[in-house]
Chains A and B, each alone.
Chain A
């Protein structure tokens, strides 16, 4: 009995002693680094930079973007596209209702670019803290400053009014009062120039990976920024510096968009995705442009472009810019014919495999759904498993050397140097199989070549805005006359208003910043 008591007493005290310790409540993550750990060593900073690459890659690819609302709204809304529905279609048709509050697409893209900027700010801030001791981090800072400049450049061109922030956000400063006001263009350009100049100087010069920031990529964007500042000589300096790199050259049109990996000498920057990773996602780029041709061709097939839902197409105006007889891009970049690959019940009598689908009275209402001509730049037969598979893992071409040549041609043209303008204009023009042009390079010529070469790659809207032709071109050419049914494909022409040269700022952001300091862009719901 006594022994029993003693044992019990001992038990109580042991238990009380071992369980009373307050330090036990301190947390420790067993799988993930803390922020402090991440930002205190060059190795950690490198991992953060990798994270930023992936964050950037996710932009037009997956997550909220997978259904194409954003990427289509970047590519669409121009003089060379016709919108055929899909999420966020209002941004491609300048729908006053959908755009009025800056919701949807405008909010997602705003948030996405500011999240890239926020993380870049942190990498730059903590990198500079250790730069004196570890000079090797300068190249990481250079990558981060490229991303910051790139995102601000994007935002500035799309929204005009943006808030410039270069400080990292921390729990300590998050609630501090901030001076919210739209940055002046001079302030924006000053930041872009200094970030990109730093990047060009400090980036790892050996890098030759179109999936990463390189000196050439930074120069390419620096040239674009210079074009916006009408600093033609700077644009010439940057583009000429790129052309000196022997690693970069135009490739044949056959090679340009062919294959799962677009690691060729013309690629300056590609967004990657690949099968296999847990968090690595896919893109649906081809699906956005390939129609439901199985309705008229009998089945899905690689011959006709694989899987798709046909939400955006090139329009008749774009096709009118090509000479199909000479310009190989007409055949290489587009699909204008769909072929019957399987005869199924319901097809007109006498239909045979191999027949090219023609418009008939019976199928004309399916023209936009099933067999409108489209682009093949995103078509993927390499990573999809079957023609019924819409999930693609093909690289997405963001910037390529052809655009640099067009920058150079335009910069020389605007500086009055037709010789050099011609030299660079003919780079893409001749590659396409055309005979060399020998006349005077004009803005109209550049504008048309830009469409022919880079059409539906997402640069057209910015280009037109920069040269001041967005409104006039959209009003004249956007969408197309529907030759077959009463369905209206001319909405962008009639909808676009002067204020649509910039997107609305998300209302939720204005509420936070205070509309009195930071008002909505004119024309949208204040």
Chain B
């Protein structure tokens, strides 16, 4: 009682004191909000700079503070946000918008075997927050990354339903091995991430420089992509449902010949052979086509074989946490119809992420994901994805009863619809990833983590061509069953220690030991002569001519030891050193282990006294790193010297010829001394943030030298081998990257953010196999199109120089080595010796000079609009639509194809040669195929609307968003195809309309 009295007395006294001082006092009110979302920030702290007054914002972010003068400044701070100093300047209402502090604990980045404050990153890391990308609706992780991270090149691998994209980080380094980065899903290296549900992804980090990737040593030479899935938060419940429908359409930027133009092309082709005399239609056309021409029966094959196809995607997730257990459960379904009628993809995903605190010092967790997918393929027996272009436009695909005709023309004469009906090809994928981990805090600061996982991928294919199919009829039914099983085991022991010293110094040390074992098995059976077509490949047991089964087993093992130490002084200076030792089974007995050290330094200039008080500068830091990573880009058994199977027919002991197996060394000579391919790379980076984050970004320069490159060295054939895998070459990649983020408008109701990403990589082959010519100059490898000083990815061929014209006859007659006739393709004789040979070839670059992208997110109240523009510049691609006979480019008139202005005596075109019945005899025709495939594309435009929260709150719903988008809709390019990304003949990339609904509870 006494005590209480004293307290109130003291309170009264204080109050009195305050009111006394209030004579010179000034009261300010306002609201504190988040700069991104415009949401109020409850409990933000306010304090008078240099004064004693302080206040705390209420639940709506409103505050009231009484300052000592009208010229005072308020210092506002909030956990996870940048501290801000606002001069009042006599205003009585000051609304404060706080920017999130990238340097605060609020934002940590997963850097491999631990997390790090984003502000402390000293290597080159791009972090992508999936939440921020929510307005954009990509189908794959690669598409999410594309255009968002500098230095990352994403190219279309296969656009078919269930297809994939290729990711290359900072250029091509390995000649022999793949250049795909290492994917680490929730701490587990996985071979691909295509089967991960996009909606489960929380963050994506791209580690680019050696210092960042070195921690993953083996397999990390091409960079690392860390993908983390969503986990539940303590004491919260979140439900989310998303549904999305998309419509895919095919769009080409070239014309086909109309039926009558095609007829004329065919006549011209036969005319050439006929010595310039037009043939009769009987000579020029096979009977089925002739009758179609006479009856005026045309066929629009694109309409008959392709369709607009829908994609359906539904996802649901529940994330629920108590203070001891957190569970995130999600399920998803993706159903994609293919543009080709028989192609499609169906996938069901489940994921369970579990965290449980067993004891205060011991927690357990598990991530279990299962996906089941079915992919079906269109008939590709002899055709590929171009029959809809090449099939003759005068044709009768159906007979008078509406049934399919088998023959429609001559060469490639089978009706593609027929083959499509008579074949089936289906692959089922089952993927299970089970990852279990335990974390134990042994004493304060010292932690041990055990991380184990099993990742099992199975794909099983069923393939059947009926006895009516063009190919199947040869065999009276042709079927196969095959299965590949890929199992990846991982076991990691991770010991880490962190300590903060009282003087602002921090140290943490991590030790890792890991074992990774990858078992790959495949087997297959095939057979011909099926008694019934009705069971397809499933009837294989009754097939009357089984083939020899196939089977292969491949194992790979990696043992790793890693140590990392980080030292940090006042968040101003930071140093990281890593040492990793990796042992891989694929190398020679004495070269199993590779040692990869790296180090990086970071200096935050903005924390220095001379910059600390500059209000316009929020952050400025310099980073430098240097390090080595290894690449085991070797398939197993190259150092062991295994034989390969040779099966053929020899007479058996009973005196009849039968299948006999023999073994011989492969054409590639084994190398017991194979060792690690090593990339040494340095990176310089500058991060900045200006005007309270209105402008922020980073610039990077890097240079990577890859040595002991695993090269398949061509051996002289006279030695009996064609090649040997050796450690010889050297490739250098250097480049510049920039990412700039500008936020011109930032307000509660209206917010606009523009991002610019620019990447330029210069790839240079420094050394191939060490051979030199007579003059001591290094020898290029023409077999592989490898040239010293040039990019690894080039074409080497002649240059198109127009068409030989009738008027050039005197010239060509005088130079018989040119072997040219009017209407032939003329290629440039670069050295003017009238001989066309290797020395007249030029190099066409296949790597872009640079890629750039602009993306914009705009929000006005409930509306959001996202778009991005992607620009790839300076890249050449060979276009088979312009020369390949299979793909309709050979000007034979046997097939339809891409329409060009071809040469005839009456039309002396200078762009395409004279049609010939046999395309192979049109010399240098393929040179026409080199086209500039640079392009600018609006990849994604999405407009969304989020219902006002007052409305949804009533229905106890957190948020409801509807959206519609256009993907790949506008493309500007000279490359004549369906898409400058995918190869003609491959499954084309569609343009997509999207409609979606997202509900959060």
Contacts and interface: CB of A to CB of B under 8 A. Distances in A.
A345 B287 contact: yes
A273 B645 contact: no
B639 interface: yes
A171 interface: yes
Contact of A55 (B552, B592, B646): B646
B706 to A, nearest CB: 22
Contact of B718 (A211, A487, A509): A509
B648 interface: yes
Given A8-B440, A15-B491, A27-B639, A96 B719 contact: no
A114 B720 contact: yes
A512 interface: yes
B838 A87 contact: no
B584 to A, nearest CB: 7
Interface in A6-38: 8, 11-12, 15-16, 19-20, 22, 24-36, 38
A166 B478 CA distance: 45
B837 A525 contact: yes
Given A12-B448, A54-B648, A279-B645, A119 B722 contact: no
Nearest to B283: A365
Contacts of B647: 54, 277-280
Of B643, B669, B783, B837, the most chain A CB neighbours within 10 A belong to B643
A168 B665 CA distance: 12
B836 A97 contact: yes
Contacts of A85: 918, 920-921
A38 B663 contact: yes
Given A119-B665, A386-B474, A273 B273 contact: no
B27 to A, nearest CB: 56
A47 B724 contact: no
A110 B667 CA distance: 14
Interface residues of A, number: 107
B585 A101 contact: no
Contacts of B665: 35, 38, 119, 122
Interface residues of B, number: 109
Given A36-B641, A50-B646, A275 B545 contact: yes
Contacts of A514: 774
A348 to B, nearest CB: 8
B642 A34 contact: yes
Interface stretch (B709-717, B859-867, B957-965): B709-717
B649 A385 contact: no
A376 interface: no
Interface string B644-677: 1111111100010111111111010111110000
B629 to A, nearest CB: 19
Nearest to B924: A97
B761 interface: no
A31 B644 CA distance: 10
Contact of A35 (B282, B670, B673): B670
Nearest to A209: B651
Given A292-B410, A487-B273, A276 B659 contact: yes
Contact of A276 (B410, B547, B553, B722): B547
B646 A16 contact: no
Interface string A348-369: 0000000000000011011001
Contact of B491 (A19, A100, A115): A19
B669 A25 contact: no
A211 B837 contact: no
The DSSP consensus for interface residues of chain A is: loop
Contacts of A50: 646, 650, 660-663
A44 B920 CA distance: 45
A4 to B, nearest CB: 7
Contacts of A525: 835, 837
Contact of A32 (B493, B526, B584, B645): B645
Contacts of A508: 714, 782-783
A278 B550 contact: yes
Contact of B720 (A26, A121, A362): A121
The DSSP consensus for interface residues of chain B is: mixed
Contacts of B640: 27-29, 34
Contacts of A294: 286, 410
A278 B547 contact: yes
B651 A276 contact: no
B453 interface: no
A49 B835 CA distance: 45
Contact of B669 (A28, A174, A277, A516): A174
Given A261-B657, A363-B282, A509-B717, A47 B649 contact: no
A227 to B, nearest CB: 26
Contact of B592 (A22, A298, A347, A512): A22
B60 interface: no
Contacts of B474: 384-386, 388-389, 391
A165 B282 contact: no
Contacts of A389: 473-474
Contact of A53 (B555, B662, B835): B662
A268 B526 CA distance: 34
A501 to B, nearest CB: 20
Interface in B253-301: 270, 273-277, 279-280, 282-283, 285-288, 290-291, 294
B646 A115 contact: no
A44 B945 CA distance: 73
B936 interface: no
B583 interface: yes
B287 A276 contact: no
A96 B513 contact: no
B637 A29 contact: yes
A89 interface: yes
Nearest to B524: A278
A300 B579 CA distance: 70
B41 interface: no
B381 interface: no
B362 A513 contact: no
A365 B270 contact: yes
Interface of B: 270, 273-277, 279-280, 282-283, 285-288, 290-291, 294, 359, 362, 410, 440, 448, 450, 473-476, 491, 493, 513-515, 526, 528, 545-553, 555, 557, 559, 583-586, 589, 592, 636-637, 639-651, 655, 657-665, 667, 669-673, 714-722, 724, 774, 779, 782-783, 816-817, 819, 835-838, 917-918, 920-921, 923
10 contacts: A31-B551, A44-B663, A54-B646, A119-B665, A212-B650, A279-B647, A292-B410, A385-B473, A487-B275, A513-B716
Given A48-B663, A115-B722, A174-B721, 19 more contacts: A16-B493, A19-B491, A25-B557, A27-B586, A34-B641, A38-B664, A51-B646, A110-B717, A118-B721, A121-B720, A171-B669, A171-B671, A174-B669, A273-B648, A278-B549, A384-B474, A385-B473, A388-B474, A486-B274
